[in-house]
Structure 1
């Protein structure tokens, strides 16, 4: 391998000369200065006090002559190649579920909500008239209760200690997780099945053809009724701040309600962008005024809106029915579940709304989704009567490691 060469101009001979680039140009070197530092300076190297002669010599003779060797230009140091950078391992997005559990008799109904994951990593799933609890830490399954009518909605309180169960007979029951006992019944406020439930600390919101807010700190009582939809409601979600409630109905409307508003029948905003039933609603965990919503089979679009300005920030047509949507904990990804095409999961980048990947899901439409407490694990349930657990499908919230899953049937 030949060495690189550089060209320099020799001013003494008025001609261009070629030198090896790795050898300094001797004509540009200060040999007198080099000789002094090699020979004379040794006499004073052990002295801690600089002599007057040496100090005067430096001031008069060697003023400005500090370089023994001279290059045409200083070498370029590539600092980037020397710096240490932490390398994050790339997340492996699954192409198959980690575990598949039986979920027989689960309702094939778009307008109900039968799956919810608590902050203590307990997954509640309603199979017809029975509610089961699946513990992520040890893979155990327990039966909470069997009811006298079909279960149409389940929702955990924020502390994971209470489970609200909505029934087809227009009743809501509150259950204690530790004792597995019923401690409250909320009756006489709805005249149709309770299709969706949402918690906001001590406030419990239930939806039939109207929204009823309960104060659960003592004896539960209804303190606010909200009516803004022309049909039955199928979606209900509180914002992370707890100040706004989003509702979606089979009329295609999405309403935003302010908790502090005096008029119970007056919404803050009402949108009619969707062509189908607006069931899937999800607030951004990072920016609490961003709401993602979908409109079912007739609509096939994911829409992200700023509820403070009412501006539509993103909209994408997925080409198939959308049943549920989840937002990653870091707010950078969206996960949607589908039917009527390949019954798959779709992972989206936000805010570009470009598709990251398709994930094969169920053999029939994926009706329900729930997200674990760390945000990375997702449970899906479909009309094929299977419950599937997907690990690392979304970015994790913390470094907490979850326990391995056990392969266990809910019931057969």
Structure 2
């Protein structure tokens, strides 16, 4: 691949920061002990490193150290949170679940599995804004509602969902709130410090290695979220996620989170600057922004160009910029985006949405005007 290709697909994954890579290598080759080994210093150092990481990451969302477990990423965290509550729902007769139709497949598919097991799952549609309202969710809550699962930031549109407001309302009920924070972790820290019961986090969206994440299960007073394990074999991570802890990945996640926290103000300022440059350049074209621009993160922008096929445009631009049509988990499919369709957008728009997402500092040399010229030349003339 040409070195001049600008990478604008950080909603799929980010480059591992060099400092993070150094930390990962250290814990692979020098302090390489198993955090479960209790008979020598290698294990002791690994255990202490993991505990330091756990404390920092938990504190970053306002949780206690013991309320965070490590997983392989947000997908596994989502599965533990959603499927792990099923037994409690069955025991208590609370089988009603509320979610949105714009969730990631890592939430939708576990919930469809629960529906097959007799749970009633309601999928709320957000309308053209791409934002589910707090009132729409609360209006569906019943006495038998076990759970509301709502993502923090949509991975295709960047639209922020009202999870903080919901958390404060639902805390006074017996309904739990789960938030898939894969895209929002680190970017909107105050939202996640609200009293959300379950938070799924992924490391590789903020410069950590792929394959590491966390699940926060916040207590309500003295009461734990009644999760049951969905895997067995070893008892690690409070018996919710058995298996040898990937210490190098955890320490890399820890380092990435520290770096991001230190630089978040600059990241936001530069991300907004990039967004403004993108929007200025886009004015030369005929385009639609998909999603509520007033309630969006600064580094994700989803647009549809009038009269242009998204796949054809990606092929034409591949020597200039790396972009995507939507979620990396479904990008091999040419079907319309389920997110844009759930927003009620016409199929021509939903089939041709393009997601631009950037990480300031990694696209410093990118000039939006250069690829916009390609778009201008490809767009058909306006019909008389």
Shorter-chain TM band = under 0.3
Higher strand share: 1
TM-score (norm 1): 0.24
Higher helix share: 2
Of structures 1 and 2, the larger Rg is shown by 1
Higher relative contact order by CA 8 Å / sep ≥ 6: 1 or 2?
A: 2
TM-score (norm 2): 0.25
